[in-house]
Amino acid sequence: MFFIGIFGVETKNVELKPLPATMCKHCRGTEKFTLFKHYHQFHFFFIPLWKWRLEYYIVCDTCQTIAKIPLEKGRALEADEKMELTLWDQEIVYTPSENKRRCHHCHEVVDATYQYCPHCGNHLA
């Protein structure tokens, strides 16, 4: 977050909703996904005025792989329109290694040896 007096620029990651089972491009299993929206916004007195660089991502609930999806499909999924995601729609941007895992509360990537998340303090199940 960047502030200059009474206005600022902020990067936001918003968890939108769980998605129905789809095939994961990384683990090749038919798994559930979570839809995320990533964007930058300019705000004035904490009132958002405009957004730019909007992108949609899905996260596999099993292997925690993050894949970028096309903007039009992301908007349709956010609006609850019937949309099918295929393997060709998924552009993998992050694949966790064996010594990393993702916190289920704040969604940050942490070392697998941690019992508690260093970002939010919640127990890593």
One pLDDT digit (tens) per residue for the chain, 125 residues: 555 567 888 888 999 999 988 888 888 888 889 999 999 999 888 788 888 999 999 998 888 889 999 999 999 999 998 888 888 999 999 887 667 777 878 877 788 788 898 988 888 87
| SS3 annotation, 85-102 | CCHHHCEEEECCCCCEEE
CB 115 within 8 A of CB 125: no
Three-state DSSP class for residue 67: strand
